[in-house]
Amino acid sequence: MVKRLSEIGRIRVVGKAVPIKVFNLLAKKGELSAEWNKALSFYERGLEHFKERRFSEAADSFKEALWVFPDDGPASTYLRFSQDYAAAQPSADWDGVFNLSAK
């Protein structure tokens, strides 16, 4: 079965140095609704901007995704981080990875 995935982000778990990518299973390939396709294009654009440290543009894209799906957790989380980072840039060694601090 072929699936439609959306990247949630990269995380570093406690005790590990190498981050892993985490994905959200959205639907079987070809079964994603038109609304989700629209929101996903905004979300993926926002994620790319976020990784490139273009936080104001990322926030704009995540807002558009949330306009389509207001309760989307990943878009809401990235919007919050994008707004925070646009106001105060992360350190130069920031790698975009979410570090988990507890098991």
The 10s digit of each residue's pLDDT in 1-39 is 556 789 999 999 998 889 999 999 888 888 888 998 899
Angle at 90 between CA 87 and CA 91, to 5 degrees: 140
Output the CA torsion 41→42→47→53 (10° steps). Answer: 130
**Structure tokens that stand for 58 in this block:** 């990322």
Q: What pLDDT score was predicted for residue 2? A: 56
Q: What pLDDT score was predicted for residue 76? A: 97
Q: What pLDDT score was predicted for residue 84? A: 97
Beta strands in 1-103 (DSSP E): 3-12, 20-28, 98-99
Other residues' Cβ atoms within 10 Å of the Cβ of residue 65:
25
d(CA 27, CA 46): 21
Other residues' Cβ atoms within 10 Å of the Cβ of residue 16:
10
Q: What pLDDT score was predicted for residue 96? A: 92
pTM of the predicted structure, to 2 decimals? 0.89
Domain segments of the chain as ranges: 3-99
The 10s digit of each residue's pLDDT in 53-96 is 999 999 999 999 999 999 999 999 999 999 999 999 999 999 99
